Amino acid sequence: MARGLPKKKPIKGVKQIVLVASGKGGVGKSTTSVNLATALKLLEPQKQVGLLDADVFGPSIPLMMNLNESPILNEENLMEPLINYGVKCMSMGFLIDKKSPVIWRGLMVMSALDKLLRQVAWGPLDYLIVDTPPGTGDTHLSLIQNIPITGALLVTTPQKASLDVTRRGAIMFKKLEVPIIGILENMSSITCPKCDNNISIFGHDIDKLAEELDIPILRKIPLYEEITESSNSGKPLVLSVSKNQYSDIYTELAKDIIVFLTKQPINTN
């Protein structure tokens, strides 16, 4: 009998998995996940992209991807992901009543997460983007211990309180040998509507953190009203008709991720 941790088991038909993580909530992790998944699909329409909302307590994907139906079961008794903008999505929010809070202990969360990973007809997928809950808790450990993660993208705002927990997240991924793709600095600045100047309200401490951890800052996204509006309306900014410098940043981020993924192993199961 072998000792040690259980062996990681790939998700059938899923080639590469990217975790989107943040230390704190409300820093733009879900917004990044939906724009990243949609931008990947726009850049490479021939590829299959999935988006898993692993935030069991606070699912945002139903709202941000404008999906509300209940998934149906296929002949193999697997749930079919809901699809919008060409992206296959799954979220706890599709399975529970919208207004009821999830009041679960850790074990129940783990069991739900396992269902969202293994009892969904994900394949074939080239990329699965996983929107993780904030922090460094059970969900992250469970994901990292059970499935092969291709890389993690860290999302943070630049103020010290957020950077301190981002450091903890980065150290966790390093300890558990998950490659860190880089940092997305969100809400990095705001453009003054009167004088058009860029104001960095939260400071510049992120540059020091990136250097200390030896992780690249991939992109910086300002605080911008249309980003909130797009999340609220269920249509990611990268799909807005009026292409602008802000949606372009998400597209460039998706290109960075593709460059990273092309150098990483692919699951062929």
Residues that bind ligand ADP (CB under 6 A): 22, 25-31, 60, 186-187, 221, 223-224, 227-228, 231
CB of 94 to ligand ADP, least distance (A): 17
Q: Helix, strand, coil proportions of the chain in percent (round to 5)? A: 35, 20, 45
Alpha-carbon distances, residue 262 vs 16, 43, 256, 258 (angstroms) = 10, 14, 10, 6
CB of 212 to ligand ADP, least distance (A): 22
Q: Of 228 and 269, which CB lies nearer to ligand ADP in the complex structure?
A: 228
Strands 180-186 and 151-156: parallel
Q: Of 81 and 222, which CB lies nearer to ligand ADP in the complex structure?
A: 222
The sign of the torsion formed by the CA atoms of 11, 70, 30, 26 equals: negative
Q: Which residues contact 98 (CB under 8 A, 6 or more apart)?
A: 62
Q: Where are the alpha helices (DSSP H) in 55-197?
A: 61-64, 106-118, 138-146, 160-175
Q: Of 22 and 139, which CB lies nearer to ligand ADP in the complex structure?
A: 22
Q: Which residues contact 148 (CB under 8 A, 6 or more apart)?
A: 8, 10, 17, 265, 267
Q: Interior CA angle at 98 toward 92 and 104, to 5°?
A: 55
Closest CA to 151 of 133, 134, 167, 174: 174
CB of 15 to ligand ADP, least distance (A): 25
Q: Of 150 and 231, which CB lies nearer to ligand ADP in the complex structure?
A: 231
CB of 155 to ligand ADP, least distance (A): 6
CB of 184 to ligand ADP, least distance (A): 10
Rounded to 5 degrees, what are φ and ψ at 144? -65, -35
CB of 218 to ligand ADP, least distance (A): 15
Q: Of 41 and 235, which CB lies nearer to ligand ADP in the complex structure?
A: 235
Q: Of 121 and 187, which CB lies nearer to ligand ADP in the complex structure?
A: 187
